[in-house]
Amino acid sequence: MKLRRPAVAGSFYPSERSELASAVAACYSHPLGPSHAPSARPGTSKHAAVVVPHAGYEYSGPVAAHSYLHASSLPDPDLIVIVGPNHYGVGSGVAVFGEGAWETPLGKVRIDSQAATELLEDCDIAADDSEAHRLEHSLEVQVPFLQHVYGDSVPILPICLLFQDIDTTNVLARSLARLVEDRRALLVASSDFTHYEPAAAAKRKDSVLIGDVTRMDVNSFYSTLERLQVTACGYGAIATVMEASKALGFSAAELLKYATSGDTTGDNNRVVGYGALRFV
């Protein structure tokens, strides 16, 4: 069995089990967090979809907690699909981790190999490529949050994107919608927003891009990226989940929380923007 071991434990989040559990819980009670942790999951929805940041927990964890609080309203899903960018340029354009398990300090979460097989058969631009995931943090940092909500019982399907153009994301989105149509599924798009600009400029650019997401206007989304030169690293992940959500019947997105790294560090000269959104 393939076992992906943590690449960023000890840097993006604590490497010791009890410290990690405490760090995730603290994201909910943080002043920038949603103020309470997930509890009973009374919702009746079949699908849920969220956008979540992926920086170190001390920077973006409280924002991410808003998305996971919403995700917790989905009754235990059959599958969690996590889509994120490939920061390292290694491997396939659309890389699926097709079998085995992912390990974090909280335990192991299995890969849904059946779902991976179905996706690979349906989406001819996707490849089974575990090497593309070996160093990638954008998906890894989501897993402890998912374990906090669901334990280790819900299988995941990690997909990292080296290709993030609109044609690629449209093709992948259609395949994902077909994959989860008859499953109870959570779709997670992992992305930060503007990188390393003054806080005022980052907020201005990000507000326009987030507006495109809330309207689920993928063409305007890509136009805004180019026109304003928005450096959102996982824009293809957002577009993929946006289009898949539209195919599943969602009609809009809601911004749950926006903040920047300056809100936690106090340095507003060179920030990264973080947004938590849910599709409704």
133 bridge partner residues: none
Predicted confidence (pLDDT) per residue in 216-266, tens digit: 999 999 999 999 999 999 999 999 999 999 999 999 999 999 999 999 999
CA dist 272 and 54 (Å) reads: 11
Strand-pair category, 101-104 with 3-4: parallel
Element (H, E) at 144: helix 142-150
Task: Give residue 267's identity as a one-letter amino acid code.
Answer: D
> What pLDDT sits at residue 44?
73
For the chain, percent of residues with pLDDT exceeding 90: 95
**Tally of domains in the chain:** 1
Mean pLDDT of 131-158: 97
Sign of CA dihedral 75, 81, 83, 89: positive
Domain extent for 178: 3-279
- Residue 15 reports pLDDT greater than 90: yes
> What pLDDT sits at residue 41?
66
> What pLDDT sits at residue 76?
85
Predicted confidence (pLDDT) per residue in 44-78, tens digit: 789 999 999 999 999 999 999 999 999 998 988 99
Q: Which residues contact 150 (CB under 8 A, 6 or more apart)?
A: 76, 77, 80
Q: Which residues contact 124 (CB under 8 A, 6 or more apart)?
A: none
Q: Report the mean per-residue pLDDT for the chain.
A: 97
Contact predicate 24/17, CB 8 Å: no
CATH of the domain at 113: 3.40.830.10
For the chain, percent of residues with pLDDT exceeding 70: 99
Q: What is the DSSP letter of 181?
A: T
